[in-house]
Amino acid sequence: MKDPDRDTGAATFTASRDGACDDAASLRRIGQGDEDAMAAFYRAHSRVVLAQVLLVVGERALAEEILQDTMLAVWRGAGSFRGESSVRSWVIGIARRQTRDRLRARRLRVVDDTFLAEQAGSGPGPDVLALDRAELAEVMSAIRELAASHRELLGLVFGSGLSLPEVAGVLDIPVGTVKSRLTAARAALTGILSEKGQNR
């Protein structure tokens, strides 16, 4: 008799693998100048990329400009993709460089983190319990008080759904450093929420 859980897991793995293959195939077609493939790629990835950029820049119009710059860079550089990372982490890496270049001459502004605030944590712990008890408005307010590096990291992990190794690749740091920074970011968010709770 078949194990339904095993079948579901296999189907999920296959779907994930097929999605990655489709993305890589799209990039190959984009590298050959296929505009339809570029349009499909944009539909598949633009929302996640825009949300991640918005976490860092905090300004919708600027985030949309950076998204367009990112997709133009994808159009021009699709042929350079070698499959050494996932397509999603590759395109978010491009977006991160585009964002950094744009912000060099600008002051980093406070971010409207509505997207991140709606994302669930991944794993039990005091920080998750604190988030569960907090009002959405308080969570959003707390996120705005985090350092930009913490907002970016939480966005990559929870917003963009990248694995820790993928985040390490995007940020060009070791996985162990990602883990320690993620712990620090979650602890900072929990601390802010706890302080707000005590002041009510």
Residue 29: what pLDDT?
Answer: 92
Indicate if 83 and 123 belong to the same structural domain.
no
Domain holding 140, by residue range, is: 114-198
Q: Would 134 be classed as within a structural domain?
A: yes
* Cβ neighbours, 10 Å, residue 178: 23
Q: What is the pLDDT along the chain (200 residues), one digit of tens a residue?
A: 444 444 444 443 333 444 556 888 889 999 999 999 999 999 999 999 998 888 888 888 888 999 999 999 999 999 888 888 889 989 999 999 898 888 775 544 434 444 444 444 444 455 554 554 445 566 667 777 888 888 888 888 877 878 889 888 888 889 999 999 989 988 888 888 777 666 66
CATH number at residue 13: 1.10.1740.10
Residue 8: what pLDDT?
Answer: 42
In three state form, how does the secondary structure of the chain look?
CCCHHHHHHHHHHHHHHHHHHHHHHHHHHHHCCCHHHHHHHHHHHHHHHHHHHHHHHCCHHHHHHHHHHHHHHHHHHHHHCCCCCCHHHHHHHHHHHHHHHHHCCCCCCCCCCHHHHCCCCCCCCHHHHHHHHCCHHHHHHHHHHCCHHHHHHHHHHHHCCCCHHHHHHHHCCCHHHHHHHHHHHHHHHHHHHHHHHHCC
**What does the alpha-carbon distance between residue 33 and residue 115 come to, in Å, rounded to a whole number?**
33
Written as six digits, the tokens of 135 are: 């009002």
Tally of structural domains, the chain: 2
Residue 13: what pLDDT?
Answer: 35
Residue 75: what pLDDT?
Answer: 92
* Cβ neighbours, 10 Å, residue 94: 19
Indicate if 8 and 89 belong to the same structural domain.
yes
Indicate if 82 and 167 belong to the same structural domain.
no
Indicate if 75 and 150 belong to the same structural domain.
no
Residue 127: what pLDDT?
Answer: 57
CATH number at residue 145: 1.10.10.10
Residue 21: what pLDDT?
Answer: 66
Closest CA to 53 of 185, 122, 156: 156
Residue 130: what pLDDT?
Answer: 52
Residue 17: what pLDDT?
Answer: 47
Indicate if 141 and 176 belong to the same structural domain.
yes
Its pTM stands at 0.61
Indicate if 53 and 118 belong to the same structural domain.
no
Residue 10: what pLDDT?
Answer: 42
